[in-house]
Amino acid sequence: MNAAGPLLAVRGLNVHIGESHILHGVSFDVRAGGITGLLGRNGVGKTTTLRGILGLVPRSGSVRLGETELVGLPVHAVVRQGVGYVPEDRDVFSGLTVTENLRLAERQGSVLRYDLVYELFPELKARGSQRAGTLSGGQQQMVALARALLNADNRILLIDEPTKGLAPLVVRNVVDALRRAAEVVTIVLVEQNLRVAHRLVRDVIVLDQGRVSFTGDVDALMNDPELARKHLGLVAAGAAH
């Protein structure tokens, strides 16, 4: 971590949904800059962790963004602290045009990065008048990412499985866009495609049954056969390349 400490510090995060105890005292740090990967097998609590940071599920513990405690704040207040969220299901407004979807993401008082958005996703500018519901899955993902990137006062983006279900060519485009986005904003990325994760992330946090089982450098995990097998179920080192 840098001398100023982590950008995001999660301590003892617990989430109960109904009778289920999903997260069990999850603790980790995210340093400023680049992409931190939140990895693990299906159903271990990765999406719940993102939702817990944002306040979309009942939570206890501590989530600090810089000097600001987020636990106890309503979701809209967390967003105003500079937390952007791209959910797994994208959540575009299908009846609105691409341009209208982007305008809805504009936050009053924020510097808007339309230049960056259209540099990364030129197709969105060309399809500005098209209804989002008629876009392909990859194009809808572009809209979802663009909305999170639009406000320059977002300090961190929580992005949940952005390549899920996309064609290989679209995956490459999304990877390129995320790499460029990480030059201007810190990203926490949930990604099941381990090849993609290895290409993008610097630090990793691995969850197992609602608990943190590993934190560290991505290469230390992916290039060690025993660690990769233990934490991710990989058969051999280098499988994520």
Residue 238 is assigned to a structural domain of this protein = no
Give the percent of the chain with pLDDT over 90.
85
Contact status, residue 10 vs residue 31, Cβ threshold 8 Å: no
CATH number, residue 88:
3.40.50.300
Phi, psi dihedrals of residue 39, rounded to the nearest 5°: -115, 170
Taking only the tens place, the pLDDT of each residue in 105-134 is 999 899 999 999 999 999 999 999 999 999
User: Where residue 241 falls among pLDDT bands split at 50, 70, 90?
Assistant: very low
Residue 171 is assigned to a structural domain of this protein = yes
Please name the residues in contact with 71: beta carbons below 8 A apart, sequence gap of 6 or more. Answer: 55, 59, 60, 61, 62, 63
Positive or negative: CA dihedral 11, 60, 86, 111 = negative
pLDDT at 234 (0 to 100): 60
Taking only the tens place, the pLDDT of each residue in 171-221 is 999 999 999 999 999 999 999 999 999 999 999 999 999 999 999 999 999
Give the percent of the chain with pLDDT over 70.
95
* Number of structural domains the chain divides into: 1
pTM over 0.75: yes
Which domain covers residue 97, as residue numbers?
A: 8-232
pLDDT at 240 (0 to 100): 45
| Start-to-end C-alpha separation, the chain | 26
Task: Indicate whether 237 pLDDT > 70.
Answer: no
Please name the residues in contact with 236: beta carbons below 8 A apart, sequence gap of 6 or more. Answer: 225, 228
Residue 103 is assigned to a structural domain of this protein = yes
Average pLDDT, the chain: 93
What three-state secondary structure class fits 157? Answer: strand
What three-state secondary structure class fits 170? Answer: helix
pLDDT at 90 (0 to 100): 84
- How many CB atoms neighbour CB 129 within 10 A? 9
Residue 91 is assigned to a structural domain of this protein = yes
Residue 84 is assigned to a structural domain of this protein = yes
pLDDT at 225 (0 to 100): 85
pLDDT at 58 (0 to 100): 95
pLDDT at 3 (0 to 100): 54
Task: Indicate whether 235 pLDDT > 50.
Answer: no
Residue 209 is assigned to a structural domain of this protein = yes
Taking only the tens place, the pLDDT of each residue in 38-53 is 999 899 999 999 999 9
Residue 217 is assigned to a structural domain of this protein = yes
pLDDT at 233 (0 to 100): 78
Residue 145 is assigned to a structural domain of this protein = yes
Task: From residue 216, give the alpha-carbon distance in Å to each of 55, 75, 159, 208.
Answer: 26, 29, 19, 15
pLDDT at 236 (0 to 100): 38
Task: From residue 24, give the alpha-carbon distance in Å to each of 27, 54, 55, 210.
Answer: 9, 17, 16, 5
The tokens describing 93, both together, are: 């407004």
Taking only the tens place, the pLDDT of each residue in 157-167 is 999 999 999 99
- How many CB atoms neighbour CB 237 within 10 A? 16
| Residue of 169, 168, 191, 172 lying closest to 180 (CA atoms) | 172
